[in-house]
Amino acid sequence: MQSPQRRRLFQHGAFEIPTDKFENDEKTVYTEYTPLGVCVGICPWNFPLGLSIGKIAPAILTGNTIIIKPSGLKLAEIMQEVFPPGIVQAIGGNNEVGQQLREHPDVSKISFTGSIATGKKVMETASKTLKRITLELGGNDASIVLPDVDIKKVAPKVAMSAFNNSAQICIATKRIYIHESIYKEFLDEMVAFTNSIKVGNPGEDGILVGPIQNPMQYDRVKGFFKDSKDKGYKFAAGEPDVSASKGFFIRPTIIDNPPNDSRIIAEEPFGPIVPTQPWSDLDEVIARANNTNTGLGAGVWGTDIEKASQVARRLKAGSVFVNSFGRTDPHVAFGGHKESGIGFEGGKLGLLAYMNPRAIHVFKL
């Protein structure tokens, strides 16, 4: 899914930089945009290639150079065949290397994708030299299922919006709110689909969900299972105990109607466990969906497109999807509200984020 989207960034390389102009009897004022200079893109481990391209493309389209960390060495090698030396670089290393990049006086911009906690550290470090920053951080994204949906058609899609890539996607569905009139039937369909998902080595035939990426994240996700088990929450799909296996594999799991103050509702697991809750009052469920310090994505599912779109416009998130989830497009801005980020990537706003505006005031003599 990522590659065709990222390719389109380069296909539309003839980006016309906008020029705003104002004129009266006294003067002419126009705004031009200039490159920032040296930029740094810091990418996470879940989509290292796609997210790197999402930072490289706008940086070079707007006349900058960029250093990518973590290092996509093969990607950097390919870039050397296309661009002059130094335009695109990759650097590896530990957190100290990242901090040195963020503090370096010759770096003009940091574009970071990752966790909220690390994003705050990036912002703190960048503030010492007031670097330009773009932060695309985590979210606790909600999907609202309206009562008029085609249950058999939509339930598997909602489930996959939560479990794709083992839920290791910042914009995956993390909370699911289903209208009470269809709650049981919709949940049953989700459970049936979820139980049919094959988990294992992605190189094997029929595998839909792979492992958790690293031991630290694996242990964190298991913590949500333990908490849900200890609190006596109902496991509609999956098992309370994550079985030991070769690799960090976890079966997709659904928690049926945990309380609003539960950890699984309040926090982002970044793993294949998702809560569902029924709702009856639209205003109340919108308030529940918005009751988070994050605002990266949200979704609404319904047959009546106009009504679903009205609900979408009330959700406090940077990207809101109607009858889909997480299918972003590089033609439009992507970023978060609240603690899910600062600034945007993609679209014209994402390109201008790699440039400095300069207003020229020309007075008539």
Burial class (CB in 10 A: 0-12, 13-18, 19+), 273: buried
CA 302/CA 306 separation, integer angstroms: 9
Q: Considering only the C-alpha atoms of the chain, give the largest distance between any 2 of them, rounded to a whole number of Å.
A: 81
CA 365/CA 358 separation, integer angstroms: 22
SS3 42: strand
Catalytic option among 16, 77, 96, 136:
136
State yes or no: is 136 an active-site residue: yes
Burial class (CB in 10 A: 0-12, 13-18, 19+), 359: exposed
Q: Residue 176: how many CB atoms within 10 A of its CB?
A: 25
CA 70/CA 101 separation, integer angstroms: 12
CA 43/CA 3 separation, integer angstroms: 16
Whether the CA torsion 83, 78, 46, 68 is positive or negative: it is negative
CB 161 within 8 A of CB 360: no
Distances (CA, A) of 235 to 223, 239, 252: 15, 7, 11
Q: What are phi and psi of 296, to 5 degrees?
A: -85, -60
Q: What percentage of the chain's residues is helix, strand, coil (to nearest 5)? A: 35, 25, 40
Catalytic residues: 136
